[in-house]
Amino acid sequence: MAARDEVVRRLREMLGEAALAPDEDYAKGVSWTVQVPAASLPEVLGVFKEAGFYLESMTGLDFQDTLEIVYHMNTYEPRSRMAVRVLCPHDGEVPSATGLYDSALWQEREVWEFFGVRFAGHPDLRPLLLPEDSTERPLRKTFGTVHAYRKREEIYG
Amino acid sequence: MAEQFAEPVRQHLYSLNLGPQHPSTHGVLRVLLTLDGEYIVEADPVIGYGHRGHEKMGENRTYLQFMPNTSRIDYLSGLLYNHGFCLAVEKLTGIEPPERARYIRVICAELNRISSHLLWFGTYLMDLGAFTPFLYCFDDRENILDILDRVSGSRLTYSYCRFGGVTRDIDDVFIEQTRAFVKRLRSRWKDYHNLVTKNVIFIHRTRDVGVIDKDLALRFGVTGPNLRAAGVPFDMRKVEPYEVYDRFDFEIPVGEKGDALDRYRVRLEEMEQSCRIIEQALDQLPDGPYRQERVRLKVKPPRGEVYFAFESARGQTAYYLVSDGSPYPYRCHVRVPSFGNLHCLTEVLRETLVADAISILGSIDIVVPEIDR
């Protein structure tokens, strides 16, 4: 618990109270959700790194108005998982986390090839799971058959 | 004539493709090795040969229709993936399965975990050149497959769990067979230890080979037995107890330094702990319904999201589901443990021998379709 509280304290100072949302019951599987502007992502992940967190999962969400990258951070203590969420326009860029976490090398390649998010500062953006000459962005809602393509507020509003 | 050969080749680094069709890569995995003599200078795993687009498929079908997909993500621990998916959807929707169903799921999931570890045990030893243990543990594994086949109807891709329960109830024969199996497996440990654990060739091939310490695990997100072998007692069944795991008395086996031998020991010990869980679950098994009756086939979770993590045979696995209130998930992401476990090989394989690379690759216990998704 100690590591989690330390991160929450430092992020409060850095981003202000409004950016953090607690989930005491762990109903969504995370204890805190942090909304971060893309520019301050490296600092925020640096705080996690210093507290001994690892990058558990990283994925994208495609909405009509924006893309969203969700990082799930966890450490070896009970109920410490925290979500870091970054909004990014469809043709936008997000700073890379590869300097902090080696696991981001592959995870960012995956998000890049499936969603078309560019990671500024990633040393080696090649397709990972898709064929090496692929230019499609399969997990965007504009690819193939999709059930629904919604605005972000329709789900999180 | 002689001038043609006058210029000797200066370049002493060369590339070698390990895979994609190689028996020791356990699936379609290619590792591009750069070698200096017999030493590896750089290893670059090339994955994606088995990419089927499970995450995209998840967005185009109802929650129940995605259930068969879950057992095909990792075909060796299909039931654990079914179980985790069920729990994620139940958490999102608020379905409460009856007590008996919870116990049945735990028993079957732990049986599946043992079968997955047994298969790893056999194939790993075969990679190292020992053929006999392979036959021993496939014999034991066959028992589990028969038991699970009897109750679920399939041997590998079970799709046995349902939202709010399981497809079929277990009967006395199942309980009897499971108890007999646990007893039989316990009597086999001695054989395994005599054949393998005390085998001097095996020890030489695994001790101090492919060390993954806590720091490396943290950087690459390594989880599961590979992490526990480094001495970190981190198991989702204990730190975030789901289902009824908090009612059982079991331990988390840990290693000391995180080499291949520690990983072997941890997995072997984990099978024994799974046996303990199964026995306790059979003792406590309550009567009652095995399935919640009032669950619609097309579940419609409310708007929102859930990130549900559980422990599969290879480590921490998670489903990240986003619902827009319709019967189809808006996003269905799977966090697979082998992804991080394989990625750390880029670091571990450096400056090892090619022969050790086979041993390390086997000891990590990867399932390639799980990485490719």
Query: What band does A136 get if pLDDT is binned at 50, 70 and 90?
Result: confident
The pair of three-digit structure tokens given for residue B94, joined into one six-digit string: 């608020």
- The C-alpha torsion from B112 through B199 and B348 to A3, rounded to 10°, is 60
Partner A, chain B 182-241, Cβ-Cβ below 8 Å: 217-221, 232, 234, 239-240
Q: Which of B174, B189, B54 is nearest to B117 (CA)?
A: B189
What structural domains does chain A harbor?
2-146 (3.30.460.80)
Nearest CB to B60; choose among A78, A101, A147: A147
- The residue among A1, A62, A63, A76 with the most chain B CBs within 10 A of its CB, best to mutate, is A76
CB contact under 8 A, A103 and B219: yes
Is the previous residue joined to B20 through a cis bond, with omega within 30 degrees of 0?
A: yes
Q: What is the mean pLDDT of chain B?
A: 88
Nearest CB to A103; choose among B221, B330, B331: B221
Q: Closest Cα of chain B to A12: distance in Å?
A: 23
Distance of alpha carbon B303 from alpha carbon A147, whole angstroms: 15
Nearest CB to A29; choose among B306, B326, B340: B306
pLDDT recorded at residue B182: 92
Q: Closest Cα of chain A to B124: distance in Å?
A: 25
Which backbone phi and psi does A54 adopt, to 5 degrees? -120, 155
pLDDT in tens, B37-73: 888 888 888 888 888 889 888 888 899 999 999 988 8
Which backbone phi and psi does B15 adopt, to 5 degrees? -100, 145
Nearest CB to A29; choose among B234, B309, B372: B309
B3 has a pLDDT exceeding 60: no
Q: Average pLDDT for residues A87-115, to the nearest whole number?
A: 89
Chain A touched by B340 (CB under 8 Å)? yes
Which backbone phi and psi does B351 adopt, to 5 degrees? 65, 30
Architecture of domain B52-340+352-372: Orthogonal Bundle (1.10)
pLDDT in tens, B118-158: 999 998 998 888 888 889 889 899 999 999 998 988 888 88
pLDDT in tens, B347-361: 898 888 888 888 888
B180 has a pLDDT exceeding 90: yes
CB-neighbour burial class of residue B364 (10 A; exposed 0-12, middle 13-18, buried 19+): buried
pLDDT recorded at residue B277: 92
Q: Closest Cα of chain B to A152: distance in Å?
A: 10
The pair of three-digit structure tokens given for residue B241, joined into one six-digit string: 């107890």
| 3-class DSSP assignment, residue B256 | coil
pTM of the model: 0.89
B5 has a pLDDT exceeding 70: no
Q: A120 to each of A58, A90, A95, B220, how far by Cα in Å?
A: 16, 15, 5, 20
Residue B306's contacts (CB-CB under 8 Å, 6 or more residues apart) are A27, A28, A29, B88, B91, B92, B319, B320, B321
Q: Closest Cα of chain B to A79: distance in Å?
A: 6
Q: A67-74 and A82-88: which strand pairing?
A: antiparallel
Chain A touched by B56 (CB under 8 Å)? yes
